[in-house]
Amino acid sequence: MKFTCNRDSLINGINIVSKAVSNRTTLPILQCILIKVANEGFKLIANDLEIGIETGTIDADVEIEGTVAVEAKIFSDIVKKLNGSEIMVSCDIKNAITISCGMSKYNIMGQNGDEFPEITKIEQNNPYTLKQKVFKDMINKTIFSIAPDESKPVLTGELVEINDSDINMVAVDGYRISYKKASIDISGDSNKVIIPGKTLREISRILGDGDEIVSIYITENHISFEFNGNIVVSRLLEGEFIKYEQTFSQGFKTKVVAKTSELVSCLERASLISRDARKVPVKIEIKDNKFIIDSSTEVGSAHEEAFVETEGENLNIAFNPKYLIDALKVIEDDEICLLFNSSLSPCIIKPLEGDGYKYLVLPLRM
C-alpha cells in the first residue's frame, strides 16, 4: 500500500473517524483506524462495535492499493505534528507503516487490515432526509437531558419519532424532559427508535451548519447517517421509552411570559454562590408581574428580580437552577412562556406560539 495525499485532508478524515475509536477495549484493533486505499483515493474507518464511522473517498495519488489498521492515537499525533502540505503513507506486507513528510520520516507497526471489524451494512432504500443544520440544532437543543448513567439504559439515548413529515427528538433523565420538533422529508414509513446519546454527540460534532442534506436509514437494530460522503452507523437502544406526551399538560394555574436572556442572566447570577445546585436550589416567587429569585448558602445569599408578565395565581417554587438554565440557554426566541400548576408540579417551558420545542423541569421541595 502506498499513497500521497494532502495533509489537511488526512487530518480532517482522522478527526471525523476518531470519534468512533474505542478507548477502553480488550481488542487492540478497535483502537485503530483502518486505512483502505483504492484506485481513486482512500477511506478511513473506525469502529468500536457500537458506532462505526467511514469517511468519503479522500483524494490521493495512489501507487499501490491495500489496507492496514494503524493505532489511532499515534497516527493522529504524528500526522498533526508534521510540517508540510503533502504526506506519503506506505505499508509493506508485514504491516510496517512509513509516514513521510518533507524531511520527516516515521516508522510504526500496523495490524492486518483484514482483521478489522466491518461496519454494519445498512440497506440504502427510502431515506429520511433533512438539512444538516436542522438535525444538528435538534441534537444540541435536547442532548443535555439524557441520563448520565446506565441504570435505565433507554434514558441514555434519545427517542426519535418520524411521522407525518415531522421528526421529534425527546430526551429524559428523570428530572427533566427536552422536546424538539422539525420537518423532515419522508420516503419510508413512520418510525420510532432510540439512538444512543454517544452517537448523537459525535454526529453533532461532524455535521455542518448549512443546508446540505443528511440522509437517515433505519433498520430493526441499527441506524445509518450519510452526509458529506461520510457514513455513521450505530446500534439502536432496546426498550420502552417513557410516554412523555401526557406530562406536557396544557392546563396551568400560573403563567409567566418572560424575556429569555434576562431570565438566564438572573438565574446564572443567583446560582453563583451555590457550590452544589442539587443541594441548594434557587427559590422562586412569582407575583405582581415579578419573577423573584433567592438563593442562600453558607457562602452568602443572592437576590434577583426580573419583570415579567404574569397570569393566574401567585406561586412559590424551587428548582435546581442548572436544569432551568440548560433549557433556557438553547432557546433562540426573545420571549418564552412558563406554565406552573403548584409548588410540587413541573414547570413547562414553551414558545409563545407553535410547538417547535417544549421543556419540562421538576421542582425541588423547599
Predicted confidence (pLDDT) at residue 158 exceeds the cutoff of 70: yes
**DSSP per-residue string spanning 213-225:** EEEEEE-SSEEEE
Q: Residue holding cell 446506565?
A: 150
- Predicted pLDDT of residue 125: 83
Strand, helix or coil for residue 198? helix
Share of the chain above pLDDT 90, in %: 85
Predicted confidence (pLDDT) at residue 186 exceeds the cutoff of 70: yes
- Predicted pLDDT of residue 73: 96
The rounded Cα 246 to chain-centroid distance in angstroms is 25
pLDDT tens for 197-222 read 999 999 999 999 999 999 999 999 99
Q: Residue holding cell 426573545?
A: 334
Closest of 144, 140, 184 to residue 161, by C-alpha: 184
The rounded Cα 51 to chain-centroid distance in angstroms is 13
Q: Catalogue all structural domains in the chain, each as residue range(s) with its CATH number.
A: 2-115 (3.10.150.10), 128-235 (3.10.150.10), 249-361 (3.10.150.10)
Which amino acid, one-letter code, is at 71?
E
Predicted confidence (pLDDT) at residue 366 exceeds the cutoff of 80: no
**For the sheet containing 96-101, what is the strand order?**
61-64, 2-6, 86-91, 96-101, 104-109
Residue 181's pLDDT band (cuts 50, 70, 90):
very high
Instruction: Report the distance separating Cα 69 and Cα 92, nearest Å.
Output: 12
pLDDT tens for 275-304 read 665 567 899 999 999 999 999 888 889 999
Predicted confidence (pLDDT) at residue 8 exceeds the cutoff of 80: yes
Stated pTM of the model: 0.92
The rounded Cα 232 to chain-centroid distance in angstroms is 13
Which amino acid, one-letter code, is at 150?
E
- Predicted pLDDT of residue 280: 75
Q: Average pLDDT of 72-89?
A: 96
- Predicted pLDDT of residue 305: 96
pLDDT tens for 17-39 read 999 998 877 789 999 999 999 99
Q: Average pLDDT of 240-248?
A: 90
- Predicted pLDDT of residue 278: 57
Residue 86 has a CB neighbour count (10 Å cut-off) of 14
Rounded mean pLDDT of the chain? 94
Predicted confidence (pLDDT) at residue 43 exceeds the cutoff of 90: yes
Predicted confidence (pLDDT) at residue 1 exceeds the cutoff of 90: yes
Q: Residue holding cell 433533512?
A: 130
Residue 151's pLDDT band (cuts 50, 70, 90):
confident
Q: Average pLDDT of 146-150?
A: 87
Predicted confidence (pLDDT) at residue 188 exceeds the cutoff of 70: no
Residue 77 has a CB neighbour count (10 Å cut-off) of 11
Residue 85 has a CB neighbour count (10 Å cut-off) of 10
